[in-house]
Amino acid sequence: MPSDTQSSTQPNDITSKKSYFQKKFALIFAPITNLLKLANSLKQQTFKLLKEIYHFLTYKEEMFYYASSLSFYTIFALIPMLFITFSVLLAFSHFQDKISDIQHLIISNILPANAEVVIKFMNTFLENGSKMGMVGVVSVFITSLLFFRNYEYITSKMFDSTPRKFFDSLIMYWTMITLFPLGSVVIFYFSASAQGLFMQGGKSLIYSDLFSWLATCVLFLILFRISANKPLHKRTLFFSSFTSGTVWFALKNLFVFYITYNKTYATLYGSVSIILFLMAWIYVSWLVMLFGMRSCQGVLKWLNIEQKDTNQKEAHNETV
């Protein structure tokens, strides 16, 4: 009987010791367990936040399709718009002798590399364009109109704004396309003046690049402001446009470096590679611009600036 009692109490002792050690281990490792749970929770929240930011900036990944659509319309509307641009420039006798320099300025920004080859192709198209009749003029108008309507629709998505009415949009962008030549002339004039003014050793290239960067940022600023079709916070507009302009300017230099040292496509496709590079660069440029517009809208939404401005306007209207 005593032996049976000892054998029955021994498992109980083992069980109690086991539970005792389990409690001790639980107390010891409880902070580590809680820390792991907290880290896992933070990880999930971080991924969720990054996913929401990504979906917002890319407009639920539709931005890539929007950039492709704009690139498609740009390829078709590029020559007609350039034809209108240079036709306006040629109307001013003072700039007729500088038309080749202005061509190089514009084309070097549209396609940073192989600009000379593109200019030759473009001159051929422009010479043919000068011979077109009424049907050609109508086709140029329709092509430009389709491009601007597509641009209006997409930019309204980026800024969560209401698209302009048809005639308002037509007047706005047709004014832009006719005033753009004058703007390009101003950029060309100041760029040439800057290069001549700072022609001291290697400083000429530095100041020329600095002015080109500044002109790019100002162009982004103007496009953001016009495309939004709603009031924008000035500091947010300034920051987002200059950031986008800086990114685009840096990518342009990287693109030139890539084309210069990577001869794969030039070897495979020959002269056709210029068209491929042109399409790729136009697509990248539209992506940068759309990301910049969406980032501007994201900052406005994050800081709740739009709601504050709306409340201030409503309060002002009530007092009036």
**Max Cα–Cα distance, the chain, nearest Å:** 125
What is the pTM for the complete model shown? 0.77
Given a cut of 50, whether residue 277 has pLDDT beyond it is: yes
Question: Phi and psi of 60, rounded to 5°?
Answer: 55, 45
Interval 74-91: pLDDT, tens: 888 877 777 777 777 777
Which residues are CB-neighbours of 227 under 8 A, at least 6 positions away? 151, 152, 155, 158, 159, 293
Q: What percent of the chain has pLDDT over 70?
A: 66
Identify the pLDDT of residue 55.
86
Given a cut of 70, whether residue 213 has pLDDT beyond it is: yes
Identify the pLDDT of residue 27.
65
Using an 8 Å Cβ cutoff, are 283 and 68 in contact? Answer: yes
* Burial (CB count within 10 angstroms: exposed 0-12, middle 13-18, buried 19+), residue 122: buried
Identify the pLDDT of residue 271.
73
Long-range contact pairs involving 256-259 (C-beta distance under 8 Å, separation at least 24): 256/112, 256/113, 259/112, 259/113, 259/114
Region 17-36: mean pLDDT is 67
55 sits in which H/E element: helix 2-57
Long-range contact pairs involving 19-23 (C-beta distance under 8 Å, separation at least 24): none
Identify the pLDDT of residue 318.
47
Q: Residue holding tokens 């960067």?
A: 213
Task: Record the tokens describing residue 33, joined without a space.
Answer: 């367990």
DSSP track, 164-192: PPHHHHHHHHHHHHHHHHHHHHHHHHHHH
pLDDT band at 6 (very low <50, low <70, confident <90, very high): very low
Which residues are CB-neighbours of 150 under 8 A, at least 6 positions away? 69, 70, 73
Region 231-247: mean pLDDT is 93
Q: Count the residues in the chain.
A: 320
Task: Record the tokens describing residue 61, joined without a space.
Answer: 């990944």
Which position has the higher pLDDT, 109 or 36? 36
Identify the pLDDT of residue 5.
46
User: Which of 126-135, 193-202, 203-212, 298-307 has the least mean pLDDT?
Assistant: 193-202
272 sits in which H/E element: none
Using an 8 Å Cβ cutoff, are 152 and 167 in contact? Answer: no
Identify the pLDDT of residue 156.
92
Closest by Cα among 233, 107, 212, 227 to 176: 227
Using an 8 Å Cβ cutoff, are 172 and 226 in contact? Answer: yes
CA-to-CA separations, 226 to 175, 222, 304, in angstroms, rounded: 12, 6, 21
Q: Residue holding tokens 């190089």?
A: 104
Q: How far apart are CA 125 and CA 274, in angstroms?
A: 16
